[in-house]
Amino acid sequence: EAGVAQSPRYKIIEKRQSVAFWCNPISGHATLYWYQQILGQGPKLLIQFQNNGVVDDSQLPKDRFSAERLKGVDSTLKIQPAKLEDSAVYLCASSSTGGAAGYTFGSGTRLTVV
């Protein structure tokens, strides 16, 4: 079974620029998550999709972050404009409906804002 694919692996941008991350979940997984992991901390949920609908985006800074999941498969997360404090690893994860067995995480995109 192929894992969760994310790209790019690394990205360096200047503050106030925009950036987008892409995620392809495990085939058939209805639920997709974006987490932000700041260095030395545990991951924090930004947004959860069920198919192509948003289930939870309560911790997404909506003035600068946006996300979409087209056709209930791939997803993109965008930051515009980026701030220094957005430097982090952005992890995508997916789970089958119910998620009781635990998520499968991708390797993440490491964003550095300078």
DSSP, res 41: S
Of 15 and 54, CB closest to another protein: 54
Find the shortest distance in angstroms from Cβ 2 to another protein: 14
Q: According to CB under 8 A, which one of 60, 103, 111, 113 is a site residue for another protein?
A: 103
State which H helix or E strand residue 35 sits in: strand 31-37
Options 11-19, 60-68, 73-81, 95-103: segment touching another protein (CB under 8 A):
95-103
Contact status, residue 83 vs residue 111, Cβ threshold 8 Å:
no
Distances (CA, A) of 82 to 58, 94, 109: 19, 25, 15
DSSP, res 7: E
What are the phi and psi torsion angles at 54 (to 5°)?
A: -80, 125
Options 17-25, 60-68, 78-86, 101-109: segment touching another protein (CB under 8 A):
101-109
- Does 36 sit near another protein (CB under 8 A)? no
Please report, as ranges, the residues that interact with another protein according to CB under 8 A.
Answer: 4, 31, 33, 40-45, 48, 55-56, 91, 93, 95, 98-108, 110
